[in-house]
Amino acid sequence: MDLTANHFNEAAVIALDDIHLQIALDRGTGTADGRRRGVMGELPHAPALRQQGRAARLRALHDLPELLEQMERNVIAAGGHVLWATDAAEANRHIVEICQKHNLKRGVKSKSMATEEINLHEALHKAGIEMIETDLGEYIVQIDESAPSHIVMPVMHMTKEQIRTLFMEKLAMPYIEEASGMTAFIREHLRQEYLNADFGMSGGNFMIAETGTVVIVTNEGNGRLSTSIPPVHIAVVGIEKIIPTWEDFATLIQLLPRSGTGQRMTVYVNGFTGPARLGEPDGPEAFYLVLLDNGRSNIYATEYAESLACIRCGACLNACPVYQNVGGHSYGWVYPGPIGAIVTPLLKGIENAAPLPFASSLCGACKTACPVDIDIPTMLLKLRRDLQAVQDPIWQVSMAAYSFGFSHPLLYEAGGKAASIASRVATAAMGGDPNEGVPTGDLKLPYPLSGWTQNRDFPPFAESSFHDWWRQNRAPKDKS
Amino acid sequence: MTPSARDTILNKLRASAQRPFPDAPPRPKHYHPVTIQEDESAEALLERFTTELKNLKAEPFVVDDDAAARVQVLALLEEHEARRIIAWDFAHIPVTGLEAAIRAAGIEILYPDAHDDYRAEMLAAAEGAQVGLTGADAAAATTGTLIFTTGAGKGRIPTVLAPVHIAIITQDQILTRIESWVARLRADALGEFRSHANFCFVSGPSRTGDIEMELILGVHGPGRVQVVVKR
């Protein structure tokens, strides 16, 4: 997906005027957020569970390199292959090479944000490999040649009428009134794809290091079909998705659907520990795990490490008053909403996503909704600070001077004296009493300080500094 | 020689002077379970399990013995006008005489093997089945979840390919919650778990809300999930 995050403001204005989008967003975010509140609210110990989930994620991040090595060992021990990818190009290269090695021409794919992130479709298309999205929403996006607008509900932005028109145009579907009939049409349409596919692709919601298990969740069953029937399964998973233990998994796998779609469980929670074992009647004969970095290790040791704790449930999108109005496409990349406003600048460069840290009212609804209590508002503020440093050279120079002055006591004192003298001279020049300042409106400082003095007094700096006063009155006089 | 991607990534993660979250809380001795179920008696768990299944729009059927289970399953197969079913090996389905009873009703039983030399023909035949029939490894009452692991005679396809999935379990397979199953894995240090390529939690029929959040069942997986519980 192309990066257009710098056009957030323009895209948002267009989105706000799109009545179909506004109806779709109200319904989508309203329903999802309401359901989340319902199933989280029914648990009196929900706050403790959030902290339990959060602790699991933070422990995992602390031990990230060791857990990745443990995951690799266990996948290999189970007969699978592990490939590491520093960036999108390397991940795509790995996948194309696997396809060439096994002569794979047709794939079926379960929904995955990581494969959106690396633009896998384009890479496979160039290599002459066909791949079909099987999640209903992602399939709609694919035939529409557009992009998903939500992490868990890809076509939240579309109305039933728009989807029906698309099916009729692209798939020669007869007019079908009901969504159930349209869905049944797609079920039939995709049926043979599962049976004929050479390989299945998936992402991964979690990697459980202690057994080397990759877990995906789907409601439709497309993930289970895509990974059960084809002879090869390739999973692409971001390195941060790892957790150490099954107990941590048991907590997180229930927080994810409760927060994401307001379900108590996702219908299919499907886990893979290597390829099919001897005697098992189905499942892939070859299993590949591609561990994707793609900028995550750059975030790891920074003050933004907490963003790696995200389990991609989408709750912050649904809860965000900005997302609720501008929709996912405005954010201009794969990850929209509050978490996207952090992840996109971090992964793609803050100068390429400058409006995103400001695409928030800092109301904190995202943090409240987050199942692992990620402090999104604080990180947005820090990104605003970073952005200022990147974008505004004058600010940068003056902040450098400020910090130099304030960290050198002699310079600081000299500066204080100079300010005191200068303010007196200026006040006297304006005809005021140097000890009283100038009455409001009399002293007009030059631009850009004129705005300050327009309605305010400008008292001169004190004659003697606090340092001087301290030396005279409080400093120990033990030399006598 | 350029370093491998593996070394590049791991070295970068280890390069920083301080790891993130050194003060992350240690692994708790006792985790809070997510769901609440105070009465863990067999009857209470059966009650909760069937209630949750109904909430998920799955259909529970509680029977007293093997004979009643056979009658129930045959009635369901008749309802679905099943001519062909895809199934687990009946050694893993806890009802005696069921295989013979189904054959006696004139219904073809297919044990789909995707690793077969005649894979394409096998899959095409499996796709023509009206019902998938399986047992289960366990069930979790509080979420209405069926738990499957794979093994010889226990494939994935019968749980997901046909429009209807009938799973047969015994009442003593009903655990309280997901965490109870994890505790069972932990009891043998995850040893037995490692012998399966796949596990799957199935909670109700296949569903989607992608079109205007409208709930639709059976989009790719089974639209009906019927669970026969034998006391």
Q: Which of B19, B120, B194 has the CB atom closest to A62's CB atom? A: B19
> pLDDT at residue A104 above 70?
yes
Q: How far is CA B189 from CA A209, B26, B184, B186, in A?
A: 14, 20, 9, 5
The answer to whether the Cβ–Cβ distance between A247 and B31 falls below 8 Å is yes
Q: What are phi and psi of A106, to 5 degrees?
A: -130, 125
Q: Which of B32, B127, B208 has the CB atom closest to A48's CB atom? A: B32
pLDDT at A479: 55
Put simply, whether A297 touches B (Cβ < 8 Å) is: yes
Q: Which of A218, A267, A307 is most worth mutating to test chain B (most B CB atoms within 10 A of its CB)?
A: A267
Task: For residue A288, give both structure tokens.
Answer: 């590949």
Which of B136, B122, B117, B135 lies closest to B84, judged by CA?
B122
Question: What is the rounded distance in angstroms from the CA atom of residue A331 to the CA atom of residue A326?
Answer: 8
Percent share of chain B, pLDDT over 90: 97
Read off the pLDDT of residues B30-76 as tens digits, 9 standing for 90 and up. Answer: 999 999 999 999 999 999 999 999 999 999 999 999 999 999 999 99
Question: What is the rounded distance in angstroms from the CA atom of residue A445 to the CA atom of residue B104?
Answer: 101
The answer to whether the Cβ–Cβ distance between A136 and B210 falls below 8 Å is yes
Question: What is the rounded distance in angstroms from the CA atom of residue B166 to the CA atom of residue A363?
Answer: 48
Q: What DSSP string runs through A92-145? A: HHHHHHHHHHHT--EEEE---HHHHHTTHHHHHHHTT-EEEE-SHHHHHHHHHT
The answer to whether the Cβ–Cβ distance between B211 and A59 falls below 8 Å is no
Q: Which of B114, B161, B182 has the CB atom closest to A246's CB atom? A: B182
pLDDT at A439: 58
Nearest CA in chain A to B36: A43
What residue type is assigned to position B225 of the chain? V
| This prediction's pTM | 0.89
- Alpha helix segments (H runs only) across A327-453: 337-348, 365-369, 376-391, 393-406, 409-429, 450-453
Put simply, whether A190 touches B (Cβ < 8 Å) is: yes
pLDDT at A465: 82
- Alpha helix segments (H runs only) across chain B: 5-15, 42-55, 66-79, 98-104, 119-127, 157-160, 178-187
Residue A288's H or E segment, with its range, is strand A286-292
Which of B191, B227, B183 lies closest to B53, judged by CA?
B227
Q: How far is CA A318 from CA A16, A111, A254, B39, in A?
A: 16, 19, 18, 35
Q: Which of B13, B18, B24 has the CB atom closest to A59's CB atom? A: B24
Predicted ipTM > 0.95: yes
Read off the pLDDT of residues B189-226 as tens digits, 9 standing for 90 and up. Answer: 999 999 999 999 999 999 999 999 999 999 999 999 99
Task: For residue A152, give both structure tokens.
Answer: 């868990």
Chain A from 68 to 97: CB within 8 A of any B CB:
68-69, 72, 78, 83-86, 90
Q: Are A75 and A82 in contact (CB under 8 A)?
A: yes
Helix (H, G, I), strand (E, B) or coil at B166: strand
The answer to whether the Cβ–Cβ distance between A221 and B160 falls below 8 Å is yes
Q: Which residues of B touch A224 (CB under 8 A)?
A: 156, 159-160, 200, 221
> pLDDT at residue A480 above 60?
no
* Distance from chain centroid for Cα A255: 18
Q: Which residues of A touch B31 (CB under 8 A)?
A: 52, 247, 250-251
How close does chain B come to A65, measured CA to CA in Å? 6
The answer to whether the Cβ–Cβ distance between A273 and B160 falls below 8 Å is no
Question: What is the rounded distance in angstroms from the CA atom of residue B110 to the CA atom of residue B114?
Answer: 12
At a CB cut-off of 8 Å and minimum separation 6, what does A296 contact?
A238, A239, A240, A308, A347
Read off the pLDDT of residues A326-365 as tens digits, 9 standing for 90 and up. Answer: 999 999 999 999 999 999 999 999 999 999 999 999 999 9
Task: For residue A470, give both structure tokens.
Answer: 């301290």
Q: Are A138 and A148 in contact (CB under 8 A)?
A: yes
Question: What is the rounded distance in angstroms from the CA atom of residue A29 to the CA atom of residue A13?
Answer: 19
Q: What are phi and psi of B18, to 5 degrees?
A: -130, 130
Q: Which residues of A touch B6 (CB under 8 A)?
A: 72, 84
Put simply, whether A33 touches B (Cβ < 8 Å) is: no
Read off the pLDDT of residues A124-145 as tens digits, 9 standing for 90 and up. Answer: 999 999 999 999 999 999 999 9
- Alpha helix segments (H runs only) across A197-332: 222-228, 246-260, 296-300, 315-319, 323-326
